[in-house]
Amino acid sequence: MTPEIGHFALALALGMAIVQSILPLLGARQGRLLWMRSARTTSIAQLVLVAIAFSALMRSFMVSDFTVLNVAANSHSLKPMLYKIAGTWGSHEGSLLLWVLILTVFGAGVALFGSNIPEELKARTLAVQAWISTGFLSFMLLTSNPFERVFPPPPDGNDLNPLLQDVGLALHPPFLYLGYVGFSIVFSFAVAALLEGRVDTAWARWVRPWTLAAWMCLTAGIVLGSWWAYYELGWGGWWFWDPVENVSFMPWLLGTALLHSAIVTEKRDAFKSWTILLAILTFSLSLLGTFVVRSGLLTSVHAFAVDPERGLYILFLLALSIGGSLALYAWRAPEMEPGGIFKPISREAGLLVNNLILGVATGTVLFGTLYPLFVEAVAGEKISVGAPFFNATFVPLMLPLVLVMGIGPFLSWKRADLPGVWQRLKWVAALSVLLTLIMSYLRDGGPLLAHIALLLAFWLLFATVREWAMRIRLFDVPFVDSMRRARNLPRAAQGMTLAHAGLAVAMFGFIGSSAWKSEQVVFVAPGTTIEIAEFDVTFAGVDRVRGPNYVADRGRLLVARDGQKLTELFPERRYYPVAESSTTESAIRSTLAGDLYASIAAPASETAEKTGAWTLRILYEPLVNFIWLGSAFLILGGALSMSDRRLRVGAPKREAAPSAATTPAE
Amino acid sequence: MKRSLAFLPFVIAVIFGGFFLWGLNPERDPNEVPTVLISQPAPEFDLAPVPDIQTPGLSRDDLVGNPGPVVVNVFASWCVPCRAEHAVLTSLVERDRIVLFGINYKDKPEDAARWLAEMGNPYSRIGSDSSGRAGIEWGISGVPETFIVAPDGTVLFRYVGPVVGDTPVRKFRAALVEAGALPKGGA
């Protein structure tokens, strides 16, 4: 019964979405307030209905109702409850339902909390949002119904994949989707603005909290996925330039550009058509991600089960939404009058450079990701594009951005005084060079690019701190006054400082763990000692241990430095008899200076098994934890910026009544 | 802003869309690994029989001069998908009179003998490749893999992974029909 309720709720939600696609638009055109306001009701109704469907599916998973095909294929009665619940969004159908749920959450969010947005803009935005949900709800009902029944029901479920039973996996997709799909509302705002033919500073302000919310969630989603791969999967790295990683990274890059260009639109009424284009493209790239993961277009470790019919339907949706919005853009954007004028040296110009670099970087990643497809289509050859391409193109592209990031916040709007800025930054530059030289002396070797990147990371960190110190006039006024200023700084400014510093901190992690990483894969017999970085690792042997639902070979490694015992590591190779699969549990000694990371693979060979020799993989990743620390700064910076007073207080143009609730639901 | 410039994103999106549409062709498999052996002579190898079973060994010479194309299957007792594939191969031999040769890849002879005794032996020749040397010559990426070899020793077709399930079996039978090992129109 429950699955049928869910199915029915989905169909009703589709009905609501169709009404909402049309009625508010007509209302906005004819000036009928009642029709415009209907979008509020239907948005909330859509959320409630999709939430009912989602809960119905979740309940089927929780009670292991194997008459539901999706549950039978993706769950098992012996799974722990947490992973039964997480199984709801583990399959193609379930994750699509989560996708639509988040879509409706953002729609209802604007309907509920957007009281300072003019009725017409709100009605059009929600109508556009309903177009998207109509597309995806029909996709789900026609090709990927999560509530399909199976008869006769199988005695138990199919899936117990132990690799996927992890908290990282349970949390990583929802956050990623909150980010991906969160950009839908920004897209809807942009299309609505194109329909109205008007973009102004107030529009940029209304859009900002939604962009920030989506950006934060996407950041968190990407970082969680990276963290999961690093710590749980035992991949021994945090980023692999896999196509599916890339398609999540592209909306992030472009979303970051959007955040910055929207500032110019908000403060200076400029970059208007550019901001609109970025809003459209960011969500287009999110849709592209959905398409790539579900169509089997590219080879990837992440892909869902492939079905060409589904791929065709999503491509059709993509053509409608992306093609339609870009055609509308081509038609309407040229009419938008350019706003404020600025000099080549100014805050605007700095942000323009930011946008150009981020745009080109996104293009590079897009090109590298799809290049195998292009080559196959044109030349019929099979190739793959891997990390070397991205390291050689993307990294050098991003470094000038970091240079500009240090200077940008010092520049004033319209026209900036570069010698004055240099006056403030010369000590920052000197200190960065000095520290880089010391670091390079201490840790010689490594590619030149790494040393340059290190210099820029120092530069960004100190310039950001310097800018903050300037704002609070540290050491110019008594310390107490400075602290008072620090407290009274706008949250948006503090958010920027934190996020920029966060990138610098994360950069130390990126650089350390890629340029100075050491790795050894060796056959070891008990008693062998391996030297890696400054550690001596002694392999003491392997024991057979029993877990709750697995048996494991557990290696014992004694770690010492300069003859002094530091710790013991116990990497495991687990075998799950019920699921007939094995996992690698790496062991990590984690400090701020770096991670010593060990995993055992298998007996070195069949003859070696008797002597107890194993294949051992040991990695030392210096500074890798700075990545997670810096990422946390980025997310916190976004949160701080979102809590800025000006985003909560209604925009001055419309109802001036302050409302405390412009922040979206998290 | 120039109008033509505003059209640029749309044009690029349309071009991308064209490539995606092409990429969705169901015949296309992005995971397929191209093989250099196709239309090339099969590699030189000479493998001894698996001890303690009656089936003779396999060498390059056995692939040449047969009345029709032969199927060479790379298998191992430790390979779980081979177990599933075994039934398909057996039915090809028993119902369709296919000549099936085996390369027993990186296997212990006693395990292989036990496996064949348990599952049945559809192979008319089996070469024991315990060192994996012949596997390297054939360029296999894993077990199982299945090749169709013409009577002149030319490799006609390669299938990576188990020939199990509707689509793989259909694909494989189509290749056999094309090679002339099965009559045309035979299901």
Q: Which two tokens stand for residue B115?
A: 């496996």
Q: Is the pLDDT of residue A483 over 70?
A: yes
Q: Nearest chain A Cα to B13, which residue? A: A323
Which CATH number is B48's domain given? 3.40.30.10
Q: Is the pLDDT of residue A234 over 80?
A: no
Q: Nearest chain B Cα to A271, which residue? A: B1
Percent of chain A predicted with pLDDT > 90: 45
* More reliable by pLDDT, A129 or A343: A129
Interface test with A, best of B19, B22, B24, B130 (most A CBs within 10 A): B24
Using CB atoms, which residue from A284, A315, A322 is nearest to B21? A315
Using CB atoms, which residue from A299, A326, A580 is nearest to B9? A326
Question: A24-28, A299-303, A473-477, B118-122 — which is least confidently predicted?
Answer: A299-303
pLDDT tens for each residue of A634-651: 999 999 999 887 766 554
Nearest to residue B163, comparing CAs of B96, B63, B64, B68? B96
Give the structural domain span for B74. Answer: 37-179
Any CB–CB contact under 8 A between A281 and chain B? yes
Quote the pLDDT of residue A655.
Answer: 38
SS (H, E, C) chain B: CCHHHHHHHHHHHHHHHHHHHHHCCCCCCCCCCCCCCCCCECCCCEECCCCCCCCCCEEHHHHCCCCCCEEEEEECCCCHHHHHHHHHHHHHHHHHCCEEEEEEECCCHHHHHHHHHHHCCCCCEEEEECCCHHHHHHCCCCCCEEEEECCCCEEEEEEECCCCCHHHHHHHHHHHHHHCCCCCCCC
Interchain contact, A330 vs B9, CB within 8 Å: yes
Interchain contact, B1 vs A338, CB within 8 Å: yes
Q: How far is CA A184 from CA A105, A216, A575, B16, in A?
A: 11, 14, 42, 21
Q: Is the pLDDT of residue B132 over 90?
A: no
Note whether residue B160 is domain-resident: yes
Q: ipTM of this predicted complex?
A: 0.83
Note whether residue B32 is domain-resident: no
pLDDT tens for each residue of B75-110: 988 777 788 888 889 988 988 889 999 999 888 888
Note whether residue B73 is domain-resident: yes
Task: Looking at mean pLDDT, say which of A84-98, A452-466, B16-30, B34-48 comes out highest.
Answer: A452-466
Using CB atoms, which residue from A311, A322, A372 is nearest to B24? A311
CB atoms within 10 A of CB A247: 26
Q: Which two tokens stand for residue A321?
A: 């939404």
Q: Which two tokens stand for residue A12?
A: 């009703």
B122 min Cα distance to partner chain A (Å): 28
pLDDT band at A551 (very low <50, low <70, confident <90, very high): confident
Q: Is B65 exposed, middle or buried (0-12, 13-18, 19+ CB in 10 A)?
A: exposed
* More reliable by pLDDT, B158 or A630: A630
pLDDT band at B14 (very low <50, low <70, confident <90, very high): very high
Residue B100 to residue B73: CA distance in whole angstroms: 7
Residue A317 to residue A139: CA distance in whole angstroms: 9
What's the mean pLDDT in A130-153? 92
Nearest to residue A138, comparing CAs of A296, A21, A268? A21
Residue B113 to residue B124: CA distance in whole angstroms: 14
Note whether residue B9 is domain-resident: no
Quote the pLDDT of residue B140.
Answer: 82
What's the mean pLDDT in A481-499? 90
The answer to whether the beta carbons of residues A55 and A555 sit under 8 Å apart is: no
What is the gyration radius of the CA atoms in chain B, in angstroms?
21
The answer to whether the beta carbons of residues A544 and A646 sit under 8 Å apart is: no
Note whether residue B109 is domain-resident: yes
Quote the pLDDT of residue A656.
Answer: 38
CB atoms within 10 A of CB A413: 14
CA dihedral of residues B5, B11, B12, B16 (deg, nearest 10): 170
pTM comes to 0.81
Nearest to residue A312, comparing CAs of A146, A144, A184, A104? A144
Q: Is the pLDDT of residue A242 over 80?
A: yes
Q: Nearest chain B Cα to A381, which residue? A: B34
Nearest to residue A174, comparing CAs of A88, A239, A292? A88
Quote the pLDDT of residue A663.
Answer: 40
Using CB atoms, which residue from A295, A311, A329 is nearest to B6? A329
- β-pairing, A551-561 vs A529-532, is unpaired
* More reliable by pLDDT, B184 or B127: B127
For residue A480, the SS3 value is helix
Q: Nearest chain B Cα to A274, which residue? A: B6
Nearest to residue A577, comparing CAs of A554, A600, A552, A604? A552
Whether the upstream peptide bond of residue A152 has omega within 30° of 0, thus cis, is yes
Nearest to residue A266, comparing CAs of A636, A639, A647, A637? A647
Interchain contact, B10 vs A284, CB within 8 Å: no
Any CB–CB contact under 8 A between A661 and chain B? no
At a CB cut-off of 8 Å and minimum separation 6, what does A220 contact? Answer: A175, A179, A635
Q: Nearest chain A Cα to B5, which residue? A: A330
Q: Is the pLDDT of residue A43 over 60?
A: yes
Interchain contact, B9 vs A311, CB within 8 Å: no
The answer to whether the beta carbons of residues A263 and A275 sit under 8 Å apart is: no
Residue A509 to residue B148: CA distance in whole angstroms: 51
Interchain contact, B7 vs A330, CB within 8 Å: yes
What's the mean pLDDT in A33-45? 94
The answer to whether the beta carbons of residues A654 and A268 sit under 8 Å apart is: no
What's the mean pLDDT in B23-46? 73
Total tally of structural domains belonging to chain B: 1
DSSP H helical ranges for A232-346: 243-268, 272-295, 308-318, 324-332
Using CB atoms, which residue from B10, B19, B33 is nearest to A327? B10
A319 min Cα distance to partner chain B (Å): 7
Q: What are phi and psi of A478, to 5 degrees?
A: -55, 150
- β-pairing, B99-105 vs B70-75, is parallel
Note whether residue B187 is domain-resident: no
Note whether residue B31 is domain-resident: no
List of chain B residues whose C-beta atoms are within 8 Å of the C-beta of residue A377: 19, 22-23
What's the mean pLDDT in A393-411? 92
Question: A415-419, A572-576, B25-29, B142-146 — which is least confidently predicted?
Answer: B25-29
Using CB atoms, which residue from B6, B13, B14 is nearest to A333? B6
List of chain B residues whose C-beta atoms are within 8 Å of the C-beta of residue A280: 9
Residue A541 to residue A488: CA distance in whole angstroms: 59
Interchain contact, A323 vs B14, CB within 8 Å: yes
Using CB atoms, which residue from B6, B10, B19 is nearest to A334? B6
Q: Nearest chain A Cα to B8, which residue? A: A330
Name A599's bridge partners: A617
A362 min Cα distance to partner chain B (Å): 14
pLDDT band at A384 (very low <50, low <70, confident <90, very high): confident
At a CB cut-off of 8 Å and minimum separation 6, what does A548 contact? Answer: none
Question: A234-238, A391-395, B30-34, B55-59 — which is least confidently predicted?
Answer: B30-34
Whether the upstream peptide bond of residue B49 has omega within 30° of 0, thus cis, is no
Q: Nearest chain A Cα to B2, which residue? A: A334
Q: Whats the size of chain A, residue-wise?
A: 666
Orientation of helix A491-515 relative to helix A387-407, angle to 10°:
140
What's the mean pLDDT in A585-604? 82
pLDDT band at A183 (very low <50, low <70, confident <90, very high): very high
Nearest to residue A268, comparing CAs of A351, A370, A209? A351
List of chain B residues whose C-beta atoms are within 8 Å of the C-beta of residue A334: 1-3, 6
What's the mean pLDDT in A98-120? 93
Quote the pLDDT of residue A302.
Answer: 55
End-to-end CA distance of chain B: 63
Name B101's bridge partners: B72, B125
Any CB–CB contact under 8 A between A168 and chain B? no
Q: CA A622, A626, A631: angle at the middle one, nearest 5?
A: 145
A656 min Cα distance to partner chain B (Å): 34
For residue A196, the SS3 value is helix
Q: Which two tokens stand for residue A636?
A: 């916190």
Any CB–CB contact under 8 A between A274 and chain B? no
DSSP H helical ranges for A474-614: 479-488, 491-515, 606-611
Name A567's bridge partners: A559
Average pLDDT, chain A: 86
pLDDT band at A657 (very low <50, low <70, confident <90, very high): very low
**Greatest distance between any 2 Cα atoms in chain B:** 83
Interchain contact, B1 vs A291, CB within 8 Å: no
List of chain A residues whose C-beta atoms are within 8 Å of the C-beta of residue B105: none
Residue A532 to residue A530: CA distance in whole angstroms: 6
Q: Is the pLDDT of residue A653 over 60?
A: no
Residue B159 to residue A609: CA distance in whole angstroms: 32
pLDDT tens for each residue of A247-295: 899 999 999 999 999 999 998 888 888 999 999 999 999 999 888 877 7
Q: Is the pLDDT of residue A105 over 50?
A: yes
List of chain A residues whose C-beta atoms are within 8 Å of the C-beta of residue B34: 382
pLDDT tens for each residue of A47-103: 999 999 999 999 999 999 999 988 888 888 888 888 889 888 888 889 899 999 999
Residue B142 to residue B165: CA distance in whole angstroms: 19
pLDDT band at A376 (very low <50, low <70, confident <90, very high): confident
Note whether residue B155 is domain-resident: yes
Quote the pLDDT of residue B87.
Answer: 87
List of chain A residues whose C-beta atoms are within 8 Å of the C-beta of residue B14: 323
* More reliable by pLDDT, A333 or A658: A333
Quote the pLDDT of residue B119.
Answer: 85
Name A531's bridge partners: A536
Interchain contact, B1 vs A334, CB within 8 Å: yes
Name A518's bridge partners: A620
